[in-house]
Amino acid sequence: MSTPLLTARDLTLRFGRIAALDGVGLEIHPGEVVAIVGESGSGKTTLLRVLSGLMRPDGGEVSYLGQDVLGMSEAARRRLMRTEWGFVHQNPRDGLRMAVSAGGNIGERLMATGARHYGNIREQAAHWLTRVEIDPARMDEVPAKFSGGMQQRLQIARTLVTLPKLVFMDEPTGGLDVSVQARLLDLIRALVADLGLAVLIVTHDIAAARLLAHRMLVMRHGVVVESGLTDRVLDDPQHPYTQLLVSSVLAA
């Protein structure tokens, strides 16, 4: 098997008396989509923030291609964050600059990594808008004029423009209605397959996880209670909590 892109071991983090992470470990390989599911407050988002270096755990280690993520300098981590990593927030307002045009939003990562040719930046922006199914003619509009689904797609375009290897997604379909969700999931699936991205996706939507993820981890009270191939976990849940979670999904 290939060497893992990201490895985490024995992560622990407490918020007072509450254990947000309690001995969590995981591996992500290149091109793999891993979903973390669980109810609200189970530590999913905290895990994502710790893995991406936004938050320091009390104990444990995270390594990315052999580099110690928690020990690296802030400059190195920021460089990683704007080149080889991407972060898609649940709320597009957290990931976009709302007062900057769509083209400027997509171009920001390019300019941060040294692109200095206006024409090329615009060309790239138009290309990525097309890829996320936004009309390139709307390149100079600010995201505030876009619908929620479009804002989320714009955030994805902005993240993928530097062709990252690993993308963290925090509830990317949260707050969208079902038809828009379906379209977004379809788009993410196509992009992931095309670009060979590794994605770590946090969601409470079991259906979304089944559609996107190769593997999944089920979290509860800061502990990974079950993990494995998505179909195995969902079709043959072993842990009582996973059984409850799977049986709670509404079928339309």
Partner 1 sequence: MSGYNFAYLDESTKRMIRRAILKAVAIPGHQVPFGSREMPLPYGWGTGGIQVTAAVLGPTDVLKVIDQGSDDTTNAVSIRAFFRRTAGIATTESTDAATIIQTRHRIPERKLREDQILVYQVPIPEPLGRLEPRIAETRRMHGMADYGLMHVKLYEDIARHGHIATSYSYPVMVNGRYLMSPSPIPAFDNPKMDQMPALQLFGAGREKRIYAVPPYTSVKSLDFDDHPFRPIRAPHACELCGSRDTYLDEVLTDDVGGRIFVCSDTDFCAERQAMKEAAE
CA distance 101 to 211: 32
In this structure, how many other beta carbons lie within 10 angstroms of the beta carbon of residue 90? 18
Stretch near partner 1 under the rule CB under 8 A, chosen from 48-56, 59-67, 104-112, 160-168: 104-112
Least distance (Å) between residue 170 CB and partner 1? 21
Nearer to partner 1, 117 or 127 (CB): 117
Nearer to partner 1, 56 or 116 (CB): 116
Least distance (Å) between residue 93 CB and partner 1? 15
Q: Out of 38, 43, 95, 104, which residue is the one contacting partner 1 (CB under 8 A)?
A: 104
Q: Does 78 bind partner 1 (CB under 8 A)?
A: yes
Strand order in the sheet with 18-28: 18-28, 6-15, 59-64, 67-68
Site for partner 1 in 108-167 (CB under 8 A): 108-109, 111-113, 116-119, 121-122, 139-140
Least distance (Å) between residue 158 CB and partner 1? 11
Least distance (Å) between residue 151 CB and partner 1? 18
CA distance 244 to 246: 6
Stretch near partner 1 under the rule CB under 8 A, chosen from 70-78, 160-168, 211-219, 230-238: 70-78
Least distance (Å) between residue 118 CB and partner 1? 4
Q: Does 72 bind partner 1 (CB under 8 A)?
A: no
Least distance (Å) between residue 120 CB and partner 1? 8
Count of CA atoms in the C-beta half-sphere (13 A) of 161: 31
Quick one: tokens of 235? Answer: 């079709």
Quick one: tokens of 112? Answer: 């941060």
Encode 50-81: b = buried (16+ Cβ within 10 Å), e = exposed: bbbbebebeebebbbeeeebbebeeeebeebb
- Indicate the SS3 state at residue 217: strand
Binding mask 81-100 for partner 1 (x = CB under 8 A): -x--------------x--x
Backbone angles phi, psi at 144, to 5 degrees: -60, -25
**Who's near 240: CB < 8 A, 6+ residues apart?**
none
Q: Does 56 bind partner 1 (CB under 8 A)?
A: no
Binding region for partner 1 (CB under 8 A):
74-75, 78, 82, 97, 100-101, 103-104, 107-109, 111-113, 116-119, 121-122, 139-140
